[in-house]
A and B are shown apart, each in its own frame.
Chain A
Amino acid sequence: MIDWLALSVALPLLGAVATVALPRFAVPLGLAAALPTVWAALMVMVLVADQGVQVSALGGWGAPLGILLRADGLAAALLGMANLVALAVSLYAPGYFRGSVLEARFWPLWMLLWAALNGLFLAGDLFNLYVTLELLGLAAAGLGALTGQRAAVEANLRYLLVGLLGSMTYLLGVSLIYTALGTLDLEQAARELRAGPVAWVSFALMTGGLILKSALFPMHFWLPPAHANAPAPVSAALSALVVKAAFYLVLRLWLELFGPVVGASAALLLGLLGAAAVIWGAWRALRAERLKLLAAYSTVAQLGYLFLFFPLLAELPAGTARTELLGAAVLLALTHGFAKASLFLCAGLLQKAAGHDRIDELSAATQALPVVTLGVALAGVALIGLPPSGTFTAKWMLLTAAIDLGQWPWVPVIMAGTLLAAAYVFRVLGHAFASAPRHGDAPPIDPRGCPGANAIGLALQLPGLMLALVAVLALGMTAEPLWDLLASTTDPSEAAP
């Protein structure tokens, strides 16, 4: 029997090695590794959906000694999303980088990042989580600084240092757990951990480190410059996947390890920070002058929504209501992954066509590239949380749960976040219809007056559009199987009688 879990980590690693060894063939080699990787990841998802939790002990060594890969519903859902997004990025990157020296430099780091990402979703113990987290951070910072431009290097050096600080803090928490409990395996640790100083301190350290990496307000300062200055395919991966991986860890640790022992006040704190992020991120996105900066701030806001789920999950007793709400959180994370990647891929093309990404001067580019603009519009619908996107379903469930549990303060936050998001999305989309520029006496807009647009073929435009369609239609209309998939998520509080 084929070990799809191991393959989905090993294949991109092989790809990384191959593209380093033969840089001249980086594109075909990279794509050759990418396609089977996605296949393996999807197979993992299918297996989990069919048979429940999948475990693979590499080399036959089980916990607590060996390296254990584990896929439950939560991991499988994020793995599936991440790999589909990564596929779109891989298909987009060759066209985007064509003719540039970056073409060869992109692939090794990108495949490394991919391997780290898959490893992180599938890691079954705390130390492997650390290793993959560190690897992810290194690869991400390297990719972000790929262009070598001063702003990009500066932003990503900061990102690297912040990331290191985050993972070191996380590691401190891990070592505390190991000292106290003598194990690194998640399931074993979950059985042993009791409420008390050890749980509290390790929770504070690990979650603190991770929220630094997931850019939760007020630790988001590093994200906008790093994501806005990277090349578009990299921004897409960073914003859609890398921060999402850190969020996934917070959620996973909280669900499996800390949730039952640290209590509701910690969850409330996460929720409050999330609420601040929703408002602040959306406000800054609205004020951003450049499209990619807008998209980056929108990530800050969207991650905020994800953290709003914690105080609600904390208050719900284990059972269907809680599983349903967890599904909504995951659905929101997935939809954001697809939508944000799409927005960055499309923004990259508008930038290529116009030669810049200043929002107020994008009329010609948006009109010369209608398919790209449609992608931006659909991704925007998902970011605002309008139907028929998955975000709308998730937001409806979030609102209902907040009202049901009497946690009213979140309701105005969600409303304000939605309206601010609409404001920043339509600030961009208005240009698709404008027949005259808003400022000054420039000549009227002629779509043919955007010479850069001609060089952009349909093949380069499709990955972004496809991602947006998944976010809006597939996740909006056909997301119900997600809850079945998540039913095989380890939730010890649920298993306990």
Chain B
Amino acid sequence: MILDAWLPAAIVLSSLLPGLLIFLLREDRQLLRTGLNMLGALVKLALVGWLIWGVYEGRVFESRLTLAPGLDLVFSADALSVLFVTLSTVLWLVTTIYAIGYLEHSPNRSRFFGFFSLCVSATVGLALAGNLFTFVVFYEVLTLATYPLVAHRGTPDAIKGARVYLAYTLAGGTLLLVGAAWLHALAGPVTFTQGGMLGGLVDDHPVQLTLVFLLLLGGLGVKAALVPLHGWLPQAMVAPAPVSALLHAVAVVKAGAFGILRVVYDVYGVTVAESMGVLGLLAVLASVTIVYGSIRALSQDGLKKRLAYSTVSQVSYIALGASVFGPIATIGGVVHLVHQGIMKITLFFCAGNYAETLGVDRVSEMDGVGRRMPLTTLAFTAGALGMIGVPPAAGFVSKWYLGLGAAEAGSDWVLLILVTSSLLNAAYFFPILFRAWFREPPARWPDEHIPAARLETSAPLLWPPVVTAVLSLAAGLFAASPVSPLEWAELIARREYGL
């Protein structure tokens, strides 16, 4: 069907075009801007729904544009890209609503929402990328689109954070570019193929392909915040809360993690990667990152900083899942792509609410916020318990599959990492929960902007975290239902391992 060839491109354009229009709007055209944003988000959601249905039925969607001889920009949809696209689309919708509430009355909103849409378009573009070249293109575009969002506030701190972000990601992008070009020189156009596309090439160039893997991993590791390439992430915390939420849950760190999945499963193929011995290195890197991020999170008083180090740690579960050979660990890693996204975005929304409503942005100021803002704090609690991995929250499902997969693969030390990390997660989240629910609130909040009325804060700030918290609980509770992320991750694992 002719429409099938347009669908992936249309999904990318559905946020790109409104974004470009928004740039042209005057600051005071609030209604039109919101309308364009919501229209884009809803159209994208509808198109993605169509895509999910088609991919589930096994239809092939591919949009292709030739840029130069032998160099094609390809959008196509397989099970993995659909998972990521759906995550981005749903969370973009929620974050847009949140951002509209969050940025009310602040300057430069047209610029903000323009780049916000570009950022999502880039994420969706790299999710739908059908070959490595396209992935690299959108990986770099994502860097560019995010820079203005991090720098948005314009304070010296924001400019500095944005500069650090740019230095890390562009350096990473250059490594990725060289790795991808090298692979292209060896293998021709690198089309993402379930089960890997290298074939017998590994026997001919084992050393070169290992070096390429390291380059790709270096480039992707920057965005995925693998230690020691994670330095930009805590600094980028200066961005407004919706940006942090999107950065941590969907856009930037996920782009890195998603890229690692792509390289391991659809470029090298997990069997080939295992036989080359590169998975061991990835496993070590991911494990170090998981433990290191959690330890650093313990000592952070800034709430957003603590959450940032928690992201460093949690995102590496995805890489860990990819590094353990076996379908069950793969399921754990892939499903965490979704679970971590929903939980982390909830936590960042809540952190933004505390700061916007009460001026609370440090853990030490959070005494009794649960009484003042019960719904927000309930959502926060759901996210935090999920992160720790308390059953039946979503995080538990990820950790369960990761552990089971590790045991099956005979990598018992991974279990140790999972247990350590969960204990550390508990150690940095429980004090927050305890303060919020059981301490006496102070007489005055640091800087109360939004007075308590019928709702504890303004509606567009309140409902997004509540919705995502419910989603995160549902993903865990109904993990066995046929429409859950887990079910979809199993579909991916079956296809990757050819089961």
| A contact residues vs B (CB 8 Å cutoff) | 320, 324, 327-328, 331, 370, 381, 386-388, 392-393, 395-397, 399-401, 403-404, 411, 415, 418-419, 422-423, 426, 430, 433-436, 438, 476-477, 479-480, 483
Contact between A430 and B151, CB atoms less than 8 A apart: yes
Partner of A435, one of B71, B154, B171: B154
Residues of B within 8 A of A419 (CB): 170-171, 174
Interface code B175-195, partner A: CB below 8 Å = 1, 0 otherwise?
001100110110000000000
B242 within 8 A of A: no
Partner of A388, one of B141, B153, B174: B141
Contact between B70 and A324, CB atoms less than 8 A apart: yes
Contact between A436 and B155, CB atoms less than 8 A apart: yes
Contact between A483 and B69, CB atoms less than 8 A apart: yes
How far apart sit A476 and B68, CA to CA, in the bound complex (Å)? 9
How far apart sit A401 and B184, CA to CA, in the bound complex (Å)? 10
How far apart sit A423 and B171, CA to CA, in the bound complex (Å)? 11
CB nearest to A438 among chain B residues: B156
How far apart sit A477 and B185, CA to CA, in the bound complex (Å)? 22
Contact between A403 and B148, CB atoms less than 8 A apart: no
Contact between B162 and A415, CB atoms less than 8 A apart: no
Partner of B177, one of A396, A426, A479: A396
For chain B, the count of residues having a C-beta within 8 Å of the partner chain is 41
Contact between B170 and A400, CB atoms less than 8 A apart: no
How far apart sit A347 and B73, CA to CA, in the bound complex (Å)? 33
Residues of A within 8 A of B171 (CB): 419
Given contacts A386-B144, A387-B141, A418-B174, whether A433 and B69 have CB atoms under 8 Å apart is: no
CB nearest to A445 among chain B residues: B154
Chain B contacts with A in 207-238, Cβ cutoff 8 A: none
CB nearest to A430 among chain B residues: B159
Contact between A397 and B71, CB atoms less than 8 A apart: yes
B443 within 8 A of A: no
Partner of B71, one of A396, A404, A415: A396
Contact between B181 and A436, CB atoms less than 8 A apart: no
How far apart sit A288 and B143, CA to CA, in the bound complex (Å)? 25
Contact between B69 and A415, CB atoms less than 8 A apart: no
Given contacts A433-B152, A433-B154, whether A393 and B185 have CB atoms under 8 Å apart is: no
Residues of B within 8 A of A411 (CB): 178
CB nearest to A323 among chain B residues: B69
CB nearest to A406 among chain B residues: B185
**Chain A binder among B132-140, B246-254, B304-312, B323-331:** B132-140
Contact between A327 and B151, CB atoms less than 8 A apart: no
CB nearest to A396 among chain B residues: B181
Residues of B within 8 A of A388 (CB): 137, 141
Given contacts A381-B144, A415-B174, A436-B156, whether A324 and B163 have CB atoms under 8 Å apart is: no
How far apart sit A387 and B176, CA to CA, in the bound complex (Å)? 13
How far apart sit A328 and B67, CA to CA, in the bound complex (Å)? 11
Given contacts A387-B140, A435-B153, whether A403 and B174 have CB atoms under 8 Å apart is: no
Residues of B within 8 A of A426 (CB): 147, 163, 166
CB nearest to B137 among chain A residues: A387
A-B contact pairs, 14 of them (CB 8 A): A327-B68, A328-B68, A386-B140, A386-B173, A387-B137, A397-B68, A397-B71, A400-B185, A401-B185, A404-B185, A426-B163, A434-B159, A480-B68, A483-B68
Given contacts A387-B141, A415-B174, A419-B174, whether A393 and B71 have CB atoms under 8 Å apart is: yes
Residues of B within 8 A of A324 (CB): 68-70
CB distance from B133 to the nearest CB of A (A): 7
Partner of A399, one of B140, B141, B152, B177: B177
CB distance from B162 to the nearest CB of A (A): 7
B65 within 8 A of A: yes
Contact between A415 and B178, CB atoms less than 8 A apart: yes
B66 within 8 A of A: yes
How far apart sit A403 and B178, CA to CA, in the bound complex (Å)? 9
User: What 4 A-B pairs are tightest by C-beta distance, nearest first?
Assistant: A435-B154, A399-B181, A433-B151, A387-B137
Residues of B within 8 A of A418 (CB): 170, 174, 177
| B contact residues vs A (CB 8 Å cutoff) | 65-71, 73, 111, 133, 136-138, 140-141, 143-144, 147-148, 151-156, 158-159, 162-163, 166-167, 170-171, 173-174, 177-178, 181-182, 184-185
How far apart sit A324 and B66, CA to CA, in the bound complex (Å)? 13
Contact between B178 and A435, CB atoms less than 8 A apart: no
Partner of A331, one of B68, B163, B185: B68
Contact between B158 and A433, CB atoms less than 8 A apart: yes
Residues of B within 8 A of A386 (CB): 140-141, 143-144, 173
CB distance from B339 to the nearest CB of A (A): 31
CB nearest to A324 among chain B residues: B69
CB nearest to B170 among chain A residues: A422
How far apart sit A487 and B87, CA to CA, in the bound complex (Å)? 45
Main secondary structure of the interface of B (DSSP, over half): helix
CB distance from A291 to the nearest CB of B (A): 18
Contact between B68 and A403, CB atoms less than 8 A apart: no
Partner of A400, one of B66, B111, B166, B184: B184
CB distance from B49 to the nearest CB of A (A): 28
Known: A396-B71, A433-B162, A479-B67. 12 other contacts (CB 8 A): A320-B69, A392-B137, A396-B181, A399-B182, A400-B181, A411-B178, A419-B170, A422-B170, A426-B163, A433-B152, A433-B159, A434-B156
Residues of A within 8 A of B184 (CB): 396, 400
CB distance from A485 to the nearest CB of B (A): 13
Residues of A within 8 A of B155 (CB): 435-436
Residues of A within 8 A of B65 (CB): 477
How far apart sit A196 and B241, CA to CA, in the bound complex (Å)? 70
Partner of B133, one of A331, A396, A438: A396
Residues of A within 8 A of B182 (CB): 399, 403
How far apart sit A400 and B67, CA to CA, in the bound complex (Å)? 15
CB nearest to A412 among chain B residues: B178
Residues of B within 8 A of A404 (CB): 185
CB nearest to B156 among chain A residues: A436
CB distance from A238 to the nearest CB of B (A): 29
How far apart sit A393 and B141, CA to CA, in the bound complex (Å)? 14
Residues of B within 8 A of A393 (CB): 67-68, 71
CB nearest to A401 among chain B residues: B185
Residues of A within 8 A of B162 (CB): 430, 433
CB nearest to A370 among chain B residues: B111
Residues of A within 8 A of B154 (CB): 433-436
CB distance from B441 to the nearest CB of A (A): 33
Residues of B within 8 A of A331 (CB): 68
How far apart sit A397 and B71, CA to CA, in the bound complex (Å)? 9
From B166, B181, B182, residue with most partner A Cβ within 10 Å: B181
CB nearest to A328 among chain B residues: B68
How far apart sit A415 and B219, CA to CA, in the bound complex (Å)? 13
How far apart sit A436 and B163, CA to CA, in the bound complex (Å)? 16
How far apart sit A396 and B170, CA to CA, in the bound complex (Å)? 15
How far apart sit A477 and B12, CA to CA, in the bound complex (Å)? 15
Residues of A within 8 A of B178 (CB): 399, 411, 415
From A327, A396, A411, A419, residue with most partner B Cβ within 10 Å: A396
How far apart sit A403 and B67, CA to CA, in the bound complex (Å)? 20
CB distance from B227 to the nearest CB of A (A): 22
Residues of A within 8 A of B137 (CB): 387-388, 392
Residues of B within 8 A of A477 (CB): 65, 67, 73
Residues of A within 8 A of B181 (CB): 396, 399-400, 403
CB distance from B240 to the nearest CB of A (A): 13
CB distance from B359 to the nearest CB of A (A): 20
Contact between A387 and B136, CB atoms less than 8 A apart: yes
Partner of B163, one of A415, A430, A476: A430
Residues of B within 8 A of A370 (CB): 111
Partner of A479, one of B68, B140, B151: B68
How far apart sit A328 and B181, CA to CA, in the bound complex (Å)? 14
Residues of A within 8 A of B143 (CB): 386
CB distance from B343 to the nearest CB of A (A): 31
CB nearest to B173 among chain A residues: A386
CB distance from B366 to the nearest CB of A (A): 29
CB distance from A452 to the nearest CB of B (A): 22
How far apart sit A80 and B290, CA to CA, in the bound complex (Å)? 55
Residues of B within 8 A of A422 (CB): 166, 170
